Structure 1
Amino acid sequence: MVSIFTGEARDLVDRSARPQSLIITIYGAYSRNHGGWFSANSIIQLCTELDVQEDAARSALARFKRRGILISKKQNGVIGYSTSPEMRKTFDQGDNRVLQRREAPINQGWILVAFSIPENLRAVRYQLRSRLIRIGFAQVTGGLWIAPMQLADDAISLAQSLNIEKYMNVFSAEHMAFSPTPVAVGQWWDLNGIQEVYKSFNKTARPVVNYWATKRGTPDPQKAFRDYTKILTNWRHAPYFDPGLPKEFLPKTWAGFPATQTFFKIHDKLAGPALNYVLNLTK
């Protein structure tokens, strides 16, 4: 088993309140109404609304520019940043995962990913393993990884994005022997770790749900932006760590179900007012 609390996957959870993560959330949730572009002043102002210091926001933007995640562009003489084509594709794919009202799927079998990547591409091999974890795969052994069948498209897209199709094969499979499948699933995935991600999210989000449950009428846009953006930043990693296992393979008290309900209570109430706040601030 590769624990989600080791290496890059654990780092993703730890980084959820950092400027870089908040900026990614801002661009993912709000920038597409601007063609993927914000002025530098607008993005910094939005960051300060989220308790990010201006210097930290500028530093994060510079790092994203160096990495090619954001592209420096002028519009009508105003300096700003737009998302790269690759990042826009990532956002579109992410919507299907992050904003999906998940229920445990019917058991449709498994997808297996097998790869053998040359030593001179060691960095790509590490990147592949890290990203397999981040989309919900579990390591069976060595270069063999497993996930529920509904993640087949994710695996294929990942191989294409890394340009490693010739080093990787994707199979559909059934588990036949020898461990009972629920036991094997518990060995492949760190279910306790995934539970902790959901429990941690619920602990963070529950006070927000309780606060807004007492409010009537249209939410205050600024407060909605602050609360929704922070909650979305905390939430958006969880659906990737969770492969979406059939219910018969999950613990009876699976924390993912109440956590999903909690997130969508916040999303349904605050996402619209938060977007309106950004549109009014940046128009």
Structure 2
Amino acid sequence: MDLQSDHLETLIKRFQQRRPLRTGSLIITVFGDAIVPRGGTVWLGSLIELLAPMGVNQRLVRTSVFRLTREGWLIAEKVGRRSYYGLTGAGRRRFEKAFKRVYSGGQPAWDGAWTLVILNQLDADRRRDVRQELEWMGFGAFAPTVLAHPGVDRAELNASLQELGALDDVILFQTDTVDQFATRPLRRLVREAWNLDQLAEGYRDFLDQFRPLWNQMRKERTLPPRECFLARTLLIHEYRKLLLRDPLLPDELLPADWEGRAARQLARNLYRLTGQGAETWISQHAETAQGPLPEAGDGFYQRFGGLD
């Protein structure tokens, strides 16, 4: 593939070399980043065209879209011989839950309080399911049946527990604010409960991957629209995977040199530089049954604390 940016070409080759390729995950990234803000529905042929430069062939796209439809993420609509795909209601809720972490402008101030969830009253199977969901929400294990979070949305927590049929069977505690937010023993417990060392390694790898492209774009200021779309998609694809593992702890609980801060700054800066070109490419190469995708709404321009 003939690209102006050697750094982008390196990123694409690295993606193509992964096994398994996980095309479904890439399609989720494209939907969440590019399609949902612009109406949420797209022609299958557009998806195939958008993903072709990534080395994802037509068969893989069709198979992955079929699987996402079967799993309840997407719903298909036939218009003539063409198939158009949009999110199901459940799929949209999952997307919003996952992607709001990615584009947040920053962490709210922490008041020193903790939410604790006690799982002793659940049988082994339900305990496993609830623990898995809570860990996805950013909870860490302070003990085998005690999970904790320093800033969870209680309404979101209650809704998730209700969905799992566990709201009436777990014990919830909310601690009071303490004078010392992060003593040395608490910092050690946090590092172990959330495996921060492994997450930091992932962030360092992300920074090593995308800093060369950022440095190039900072000097040249622009890339062709196609390359902006590819760069933005890979950026969010890799960053999203890290954010889903990151509990997004308050600064008071994190190391002073926490790599996640630099990664968020890099993601924000590179997203801003690639944003306009990527949107131009999407407008030219993605369509619905009514024609080109509608323009993105105001919510899109609030990503990462505000886009130009």
TM-score of the pair, normalised by structure 1: 0.83
Distance 1:161 1:88 in 2: 16
Query: Which residue among 180, 187, 196 is the counterpart of 1:191?
Result: 196
* In 1: Cα distance, 2:129 partner to 2:276 partner: 35
**Greater helix fraction, Structure 1 or Structure 2:** 1
Identify the range of structure 1 (23-32 vs 234-243) with the bigger mean alpha-carbon deviation: 234-243
Aligned residue for 1:149, secondary structure, equals coil
Report if the CA contact (8 A) 2:232-2:271 is conserved: yes
Aligned counterpart in structure 1 of residue 217 of structure 2, from 193, 212, 215: 212
- Name the residue aligned to 2:185: 180
Can you give the 5+ residue segments of structure 1 that lack an aligned partner in the other structure? 1-13
Distance (whole Å) between structure 1 residues aligned to residue 19 and residue 92 of structure 2: 21
Identity of aligned residues (%): 25
Letter in 2 for 1:206: R
Aligned to 2:135, which of 125, 133, 136?
133
Q: Is the 8 A contact 1:68 1:84 kept in 2?
A: yes
Alignment correspondent of 1:62? 66
Partner of 1:11: none
Q: Measure, in 1, the Cα distance between the counterparts of 2:159 and 2:209.
A: 32
Deviation at 1:27, TM superposition (A): 0.7
Gaps of 5+ in 2: 1-17, 287-291, 293-308
- Find the residue that maps to 2:61 and give its secondary structure: helix
Deviation at 1:151, TM superposition (A): 4.4
TM-score, normalised on structure 2?
0.77
SS of match in other structure, 1:180:
helix
Match of 2:244 in 1: 240
Is 1:74 matched with 2:78? yes
Closer/same/farther in 2, CA of residues 208 and 135 from structure 1, 3 Å limit = farther
Runs of 4 or more, structure 1, over 4 Å off, are 14-17
Paired letter, 1:267: Y
1:221–1:170 distance in 2 versus 1, CA, 3 Å: farther
Letter in 2 for 1:181: L
Alpha-carbon RMSD: 2.7
2:49 paired with 1:50? no
Pick which of 237-246 and 50-59 moved more: 237-246
Q: 1:199 to 1:105 in 2, by over 3 A?
A: farther
Please tell me whether residue 257 in structure 1 is matched to residue 261 in structure 2: yes
Determine the structure 1 residue equivalent to 2:88.
Answer: 84
Deviation, structure 1 residue 125: 4.0
The aligned runs of 1:9-48 (5 Å cut-off) are: 18-48=22-52
Shift of 1:153: 4.1
- Equivalenced residue count is 266
Q: Provide closer, same or farther for how the CA distance between residues 188 and 214 of structure 1 changes in structure 2, counting only shifts above 3 A.
A: same
Q: What's the CA shift string for 1:248-270, capped at 9, x where partnerless?
A: 32222111111111110111111
Compared CA separation, residues 229 and 257, structure 1 to 2 (3 A): same
- Which deviates the most, 104-113 or 141-150? 104-113
